[in-house]
């Protein structure tokens, strides 16, 4: 039970309904509510002792720009990731730039655009990310459960994104654009460029799940 009097999410199994289909629906809805509850818990108990506390949207943006690849470090890609309007995403980015946590830098690949980068102060702030507690709780699962949990969440993410006609974000290792015929020199068929270790591990707005392209 939580010590801050916030009621813990009810974990009891829902009573068995009359038929199996309804049972599946009730359990799935409970799982969906649990996901929302976890998300609220991450920021609900936040102890941000910095002078400028960040909102959940600002935390999401800071994390996003720290993890996104060069195709994706733009306000418009962030708006897709955060499922919000470009105007709202722009305001969040602007606020973080004003706080010195993000900055605009020239895009070497395209002189007409700029990329958003996390500043050293932004990286320092990320060391106190409230999401770390949830990460630690997931880390405490046994490896097989953790792997299966992560796979299930990815699958749910793909299904929801397709339903909303939103892009799916993912990494090169699972992407249909990634050519790994030469293991030492992975190649992105979308960017028409090589991929280094950092790119392989970054989030990408042009990700296309490998299974959907077969
Ligand atoms: S291989 Fe896929 S995920 Fe990786 S950079 Fe290319 S499009 Fe993005």
Helix (H/G/I), strand (E/B), else coil: 117: strand
Per-residue pLDDT of the chain (214 residues; tens, 9 = 90+): 444 444 444 444 455 555 666 767 888 999 999 999 998 888 776 555 555 789 999 999 999 999 999 889 999 999 988 888 999 999 999 999 999 999 999 887 777 778 999 999 999 999 999 999 999 999 999 999 999 999 899 889 888 888 888 888 888 988 999 999 987 889 999 989 999 888 899 999 898 888 654 4
Pocket of ligand 1 (CB under 6 A): 69, 171-172, 175, 177-178, 188, 190-191, 204, 206-207
Cα(204) to ligand 1 centroid in Å equals 6
* Residue to probe by mutation, ligand 1, list 206, 210, 211, 212, most atoms within 8 Å of CB: 206
Return the pLDDT at 10.
42
Return the pLDDT at 6.
41
Q: Which residues pair with 193 in a beta bridge?
A: 188
Residue nearest to atom 6 of ligand 1 (CA): 188
Domain with CATH 1.10.10.10 in the chain: 56-126
Q: How far is residue 195 from each of residues 62, 96, 148, 192, 207, measured CA to CA in Å?
A: 23, 29, 27, 10, 13
Candidate CATH numbers 3.40.50.2000, 1.10.490.10, 1.10.10.10, 1.20.1250.20; the one for domain 56-126: 1.10.10.10
Return the pLDDT at 78.
93
188 φ, ψ (degrees, to nearest 5):
-95, 115
* Residue to probe by mutation, ligand 1, list 74, 81, 175, most atoms within 8 Å of CB: 175
């Amino acid at each position: 039970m939580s010590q801050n009097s916030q009621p813990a999410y009810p974990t009891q199994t829902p009573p068995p309904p009359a038929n199996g289909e309804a049972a599946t629906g009730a359990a799935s809805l409970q799982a969906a509510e649990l996901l929302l509850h976890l998300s609220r818990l991450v920021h609900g108990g936040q102890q941000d002792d910095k002078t400028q506390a960040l909102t959940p949207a600002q935390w999401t943006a800071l994390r996003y720009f720290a993890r996104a690849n060069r195709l994706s470090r733009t306000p418009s890609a962030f708006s897709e990731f955060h499922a919000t309007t470009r105007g709202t995403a722009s305001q969040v980015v602007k606020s973080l730039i004003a706080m010195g946590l993000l900055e605009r830098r020239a895009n070497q690949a395209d002189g007409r655009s700029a990329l958003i980068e996390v500043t050293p102060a932004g990286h320092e702030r990320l060391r106190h990310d409230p999401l770390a507690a949830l990460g630690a709780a997931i880390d405490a699962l046994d490896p097989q459960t953790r792997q299966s949990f992560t796979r299930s969440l990815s699958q749910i993410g793909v299904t929801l994104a397709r339903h909303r006609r939103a892009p799916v974000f993912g990494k090169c290792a699972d992407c249909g654009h990634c050519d790994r015929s030469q293991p030492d020199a992975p190649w992105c068929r979308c960017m028409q460029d090589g991929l280094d270790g950092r790119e392989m591990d970054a989030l990408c707005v042009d990700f296309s799940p490998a299974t959907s392209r077969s």
